[in-house]
Amino acid sequence: MTATPIISVQHLTTAFGTHVVHQDLSLDIYPKEILALVGGSGSGKTTLLRQILGLDRPREGVVKVFGRPVHDYTGQDRIALTHRWGMLFQAGALFSALPVFDNIALPLRELHHLPESLIRDVVLMRLSWMGLTERDAGLMPSDLSGGMIKRVALARALALDPELLFLDEPTAGLDPQRADEFVELIRVLHRELGFTVVMVTHDLDTIGALASRVAVLAEKKVLVEGSLEAVMATKHPFIEAFFHSERGVRALGATAAKDVNHGKP
């Protein structure tokens, strides 16, 4: 790929005490792609995500976001950076004391300069993207189904129209039908809005349906990166155990169908 990376992880070494998690790990993420970060438990996916977000510092190496080391963004620059990305946490992480409307409005209100009429328009638009209605805006998080919580959390993550979206196990906790619907929603929104996605997931169906590239974390580094086909062709015990299951083969089938349709539904 010749495009300039939107995220560039360069020669990262991470250790907690004597426990080395990443050793000379490098990874570039390009505009508009959907990168799936895959690896065994404890391989350092969450830690890498936290370092990309600038929440943790590696022992060595640098993470550049939008061309600049993420730790160089401080003060107003850091706030502006956080407006350029959205994050969907595994459990949704909605504020339980706030209704749906206020949860989605939160990032818009934090800008401190938007009139309430505009905030309302943006929130209602985000709700409609998610297939939710104005009536849903008044519900409390405790009134929502698991699928709705994910949709509201996604609406909040996309409130500021970010260039980058981080997804942590986006379909965790959903039944297969709701998971498929949520994956389809992300696929359509990605196609329409063109943001870049970095997702951590163990779910092969999600990878097969969404990922344009897969990066496998193993042996303290990115062991292999590329299309799902390329990754599955790599001989490695983790890859064989993870991808060469019945579900892995099905995920590959979903990728083939996606390619035939040129990524369109």
Ligand X SMILES: Nc1ncnc2c1ncn2[C@@H]1O[C@H](COP(=O)(O)OP(=O)(O)OP(=O)(O)O)[C@@H](O)[C@H]1O
Note the residues at the interface with ligand X (CB under 6 A).
16, 21, 39, 41-47
Residue in this structure with the two tokens 């359509």, named with its chain if needed: 188
Secondary structure class of 87 (helix, strand, coil): strand
Residue 123 or residue 217: which is nearer to ligand X going by CB? 217
Residue 44 or residue 99: which is nearer to ligand X going by CB? 44
Token readout for 236 is: 């490695």
CB burial class (10 A; 0-12, 13-18, 19+) of residue 62? middle
Token readout for 173 is: 């906790």
- Min CB(172)–ligand X separation in Å: 11
Residue 119 or residue 211: which is nearer to ligand X going by CB? 211
Q: Which amino acid is at 211?
A: A
Angstrom CA distances, 36 to 62, 71, 210, stand at: 21, 24, 8
- Min CB(113)–ligand X separation in Å: 36
- Min CB(14)–ligand X separation in Å: 8
Distance CA 199, CA 135 (A): 31
- Min CB(179)–ligand X separation in Å: 18
Residue 148 or residue 198: which is nearer to ligand X going by CB? 198
